[in-house]
Amino acid sequence: MDNDSRLKLIEAATILFAQKGLAGVSIREIAKQAGVNSALISYHFEGKEGLYAAVLEHQLFFMSEIVKRINNDHLSPSEQIKEYASAVLGLHQRSPMLVRFIYSELFNPSPCFEMMKQKFFAKLFQALKGIITDGIVKRQFRADLNPEKAVISLVGIMNFYFISRPITKNIITEDASDQQYIDQAVEIYLRGIVRRG
């Protein structure tokens, strides 16, 4: 029963926090949405901020899985980048509200921002930087690349498509699938960084 109420609270809070942000949601509202007693928020999470942290961890869990997937010595640096692109697609499909949390944390950081940055984003950044650096050392990628800037470009091209959906919703025709976008984006990216000749 304890685990059931905990999961109900995380599910309800995910929707409410994504819509209204941490400050815009009351404990009573979360408990009502979850169909549980509001005292369970303190019991399971030591308060609303603890519940918010648990929601973020739940949303970002798959980011840790991405790091494991791309740290594969059996793949070339280009194949690791393709694996990253595929994993990003899976992340956005499994956690469609993640974009809202990232927006919220970027523009109105909560006390959880540093935890998110260190526990999830920094590890992914370092893994991707290692892949780019490895590609340069192996002479597969251009020698003039700045690995950190190349990572920022990669993360941007892979994620902006999902982040921009509220803007592009009625502007562009949706005749291509998410997979088609990811395939095209990774092809364009690799053409820009692969060593020629």
* Residue 105 counted as domain residue: yes
* Residue 10 counted as domain residue: no
pLDDT digits (tens, 9 = 90+) for 70-116: 998 899 999 999 999 999 999 888 888 888 888 888 888 888 898 88
Assigned token pair, 195: 């060593």
Question: Measuring CA to CA, which residue among 193, 182, 63 is closest to residue 132?
Answer: 193
Question: What does pTM read for this prediction?
Answer: 0.84
Alpha carbon 36 to chain centroid, angstroms: 29
pLDDT digits (tens, 9 = 90+) for 32-54: 999 999 999 999 999 999 999 99
Domain range enclosing 73: 57-193
3-state secondary structure (DSSP) of residue 18: helix
Inform me whether the pLDDT recorded for 21 exceeds 90.
no
* Residue 156 counted as domain residue: yes
3-state secondary structure (DSSP) of residue 141: strand
> What integer is the mean pLDDT of 11-29?
92
Q: What is the CATH number of the domain that holds 87?
A: 1.10.357.10
Share of the chain above pLDDT 70, in %: 97
Inform me whether the pLDDT recorded for 11 exceeds 60.
yes
Inform me whether the pLDDT recorded for 142 exceeds 80.
yes
* Residue 13 counted as domain residue: no
Assigned token pair, 21: 């942000």
State the total domains in the chain.
1
Contact residues for 151 (Cβ-Cβ < 8 A; gap 6+): 125, 128, 129, 132
Position 135 confidence tier, pLDDT thresholds 50, 70, 90: very high
The pLDDT, as a whole number, for residue 122 is 92
Residue with tokens 């007693």: 37
**Residue 63 exposure: Cα atoms within 13 Å on the Cβ side:** 24
**CB-count burial class (<10 Å; 0-12, 13-18, 19+) for 108:** exposed
* Residue 74 counted as domain residue: yes
* Residue 99 counted as domain residue: yes
The pLDDT, as a whole number, for residue 176 is 65
